Structure 1
Amino acid sequence: MKLSHWALASLAAVPFTANAFETRLNGFISVGAGMTLQKDQELITDPVNYGTYDNELSIKPDTMVAIQTLSKVNDRLSATAQLTGFAGNDFDVNFEWAYINYELTNDIDVKAGRIRMPVFSYSSSLDLGYSYVWIRPPAEVYNVFLTNLEGVSADYNLLLGDWYTTASVYFGETSGTDPETQSFVEFESILGGSLTLNNGNLSLRGSYSVDENVTANRPVYSSALETAAPYTGGYMVMEVDLPVSFTSASAIYDNGTFLLNSEYTYTKFINDANNNETAWFATTGLRVGDFTPHVTYSSFKQSDNSTTTLPELDGYPYPIAVKDYAHDISAITAGVRWDFDIAASAKIEYTTRTDSTKEPTGLDGKWSPYGDAQAISVAVDVVF
């Protein structure tokens, strides 16, 4: 753990002069534990940080901590930074957020720096376990491995009849390693927007983003290369263009007693280099005093549109058409949330995941990173 980063955050929270600016320091922590119920099973809980439970009890996949500072420079200008550390990454601290915000008018805010892409309903509170009923959002839907970008955004708040509305646009770039394929992916010009409408107990939201300048440096196996150059292990890097668009829509009804929550996403690879992806979940819950039992069904499916053929995979010396082996995964999660304090909750969940993905003969368990699994997990979320 890099304590110097935390020390830096503490120092940044102290004004240089008594009247220079106003700074607020907040934080949140989630401590979780879980395991699968059978040997040789793994349950991926966090596709972003590749958190995974197996048949040995572990606290790493669902344990994290974050500290956020908000410094108000004047009536219109502020700066926000959030340091986040995940147990699965040995609490290696990273800046999830680091941006300045300027209030252009009473209704328009402009941000610049590292910001969270508003592609999901819970994007702004993705790491804040206290903000939702589950231990974690459904991994079948929240499976985008890059959630931040370096760029600019603008939010416009307005009232449309009885609907409180926020319209957002953003532009920027980001990069990172896809934990599923180990490809290094660069997004050079992400352009997107979202629209959120709230009316009493009902919240509706939609978003769309596109980037036609995406490249992935993907490791590819070649037995011929392994023979010619054994030191490479048979792997070479292949650059692939992956222009992509992402669409999402969600609806939440919450009257304080009854909860209905659903979200849908669609990922389209514009040049058919990969199979297009559709994902959705539906959650229902009922608050009884301080307890909220809930049930969620979630699904992730790929279409068969890809025109890509993989020349070889390690241990499988025949070409594989990606469209013939589209992923098909579903899960059911049942749990209870207990709000035992004003800023703290405890949760317990049981998840059963079914992987119906067809795999090439001889690569069973290697083509799809998911697999069937049943797991139980618990967590405590605290805001401070």
Structure 2
Amino acid sequence: MRHKILYLLFISIMFSHSSAFSNDFEFSGYARVIGGYLDEKDVEYKGYEDSIKFSPSSLIGLQGEYQFNNNWSATAQVLLRSDNTTASDNSGLEWLYLTYTPTDNIQIKLGKLRTPFFTLSDFSDVGFAYPWINPPQQVYDTYLFKTFNGIDAVYKFGAESLDVTLEGYYGEESGEIGIGTLKTGFEVDNLLGFIGKINIENLEFRVSRYNGNIKLDIEEIKQLENVLNDLNFTRSANSVQTQGRAHAEQFGIVYDNLDYFFRGEWVRIKTDLGIVPIIQSYYLTAGVNYAPFTYHLTFADSDVDIRSPENEIPLGIDADLDRLAYGYNSIFEDSTPDSLKTWTIGVRWDVLPNLALKAEFSALEGNNVKDSFFVTPENSNFDKKASLYLIGLDWVF
């Protein structure tokens, strides 16, 4: 794994010696090497264990942009991750889109785009752009998809101390996501989102909302739905439907006067699917800047509203019905997303204008819902409390 990371860094060094191949083409990129240690034996958290590991979050991104003329450009970005165990975080083509800029106030993008759900969506993989080693996972590691195929339009206007940005996007996406321990293919169409952002000097407010039609590709659940309908357990069948509407709402605030800063973000995700619980997550961050050092403290939390099964299936009458009831109830248990509280304290050292070293300590406390992002052996007495130590290097070029 160390050789793989060194190889990725070697590629970035080779490219960084030529920031512009021509007057019309520009190349840039970013890289990060993250090491972590979890102080709990036989427990895994986001790929970290009780030995130092560098694979879960280390990556390199390479981006090229070609300017056809004053109005049109094309952008492509490839992301190479050292760990591809998560379906939604595979290496490969991350962005590929055309940009049309008819005026200074209007920008339109068309192609494969980063989905702008959150404040940091456009650069959530660029560790150099924010104080933490990783953005608070309670918000940024939900089952929302990171990219989509479609169109995005931005309109900006403002005055001397006020800037307003209005953004809308429309498209579709398919791929794989995880909902609790359920891993499923998905399709989303008629994805429609709106974003409003106001900047008043050092203060920024951001609100966003999206809606879309979602379809989960879980053959076992589809078969279960058909069986329940055949047996006239219609309420139970409706509760395991794999198609419906999805909604997400977000609010963010950022204040930064160069001496100290404050960040907060809240998100609520809800679908029409009974097997997908409602999630509310947020984080609050405060920090101070003593150049070249930055110190920060963050609290993050995720709350899960679990939907109750219909329980129409009688027990103790027939063995087949008992097995059917067990399979029905287990779907709701497996689809329960993780819930976790985290306190994180960290320091960032800007060694160079484009290079930062970071260190963090996080106290993790899982709620009484499923595994709380932890992976534990069966029949484990783990109390869902642990400490995570991270060190990182972030580089842009």
TM class, shorter-chain normalised?
0.7 to 0.9
Using the alignment, how far apart are the partners of 1:294 and 1:38 within structure 2?
Answer: 25
Q: Does 1:54 align with 2:65?
A: no
Q: Does 1:158 align with 2:157?
A: yes
- Provide the residue aligned with 1:322 in structure 2: 332
Question: How many corresponding residue pairs?
Answer: 348
Using the alignment, how far apart are the partners of 1:364 and 1:181 within structure 2?
Answer: 16
Q: TM-score, normalised by structure 2?
A: 0.78
2:171 match: secondary structure? strand
CA RMSD of aligned residues (A): 3.5
Counterpart contact for 2:97–2:110, Cα < 8 Å: yes
Using the alignment, how far apart are the partners of 2:166 and 2:153 within structure 1?
Answer: 8
Provide, for residues 194-242 of structure 1, a one-character-per-residue CA deviation record: whole Å limited to 9, x for no partner.
111112211111110000x211123649xx9xxxxxxxxxxxxx97114
- Provide the residue aligned with 1:67 in structure 2: 62
Using the alignment, how far apart are the partners of 2:289 and 2:79 within structure 1?
Answer: 30
Provide, for residues 309-347 of structure 1, a one-character-per-residue CA deviation record: whole Å limited to 9, x for no partner.
79999xx76834838967532111111111111111000
- Provide the residue aligned with 1:192 in structure 2: 193
Q: Note the 1:120-199 alignment, pairs <5 A.
A: 120-145=118-143, 146-159=145-158, 162-179=161-178, 180-199=181-200
Select which of 355, 362, 387 maps to 1:374.
387
1:319 match: secondary structure? helix
Report sequence identity in percent.
Answer: 24
Counterpart contact for 2:97–2:113, Cα < 8 Å: yes
Higher deviation after alignment, 302-311 or 63-72: 302-311
What is the one-letter code of the residue matched to 1:372? K
What is the one-letter code of the residue matched to 2:217? N
- Provide the residue aligned with 1:207 in structure 2: 208
Select which of 344, 349, 355 maps to 1:333.
344
Using the alignment, how far apart are the partners of 1:266 and 1:320 within structure 2?
Answer: 25
What is the one-letter code of the residue matched to 1:72? Q
* Cα 1:190–1:307 shift into 2, 3 Å: farther
Higher deviation after alignment, 84-93 or 302-311: 302-311
Counterpart contact for 1:279–1:299, Cα < 8 Å: yes
Q: Which structure 2 residue ranges, 5 or more long, are not aligned?
A: 225-239, 314-320
Provide, for residues 170-198 of structure 1, a one-character-per-residue CA deviation record: whole Å limited to 9, x for no partner.
01111121234211111122110111111
Q: Which has the higher helix share?
A: 2
Counterpart contact for 2:155–2:165, Cα < 8 Å: yes
Select which of 353, 357, 362 maps to 2:364.
353
1:141 match: secondary structure? helix
Using the alignment, how far apart are the partners of 1:364 and 1:93 within structure 2?
Answer: 27
Q: TM-score, normalised by structure 1?
A: 0.81
Q: Does 1:296 align with 2:298?
A: yes
2:83 match: secondary structure? helix
1:356 deviates by 1.3
Q: Note the 1:92-103 alignment, pairs <5 A.
A: 93-103=91-101
Using the alignment, how far apart are the partners of 1:365 and 1:351 within structure 2?
Answer: 22
Counterpart contact for 1:23–1:70, Cα < 8 Å: yes
Counterpart contact for 1:218–1:239, Cα < 8 Å: no
Counterpart contact for 1:274–1:307, Cα < 8 Å: no
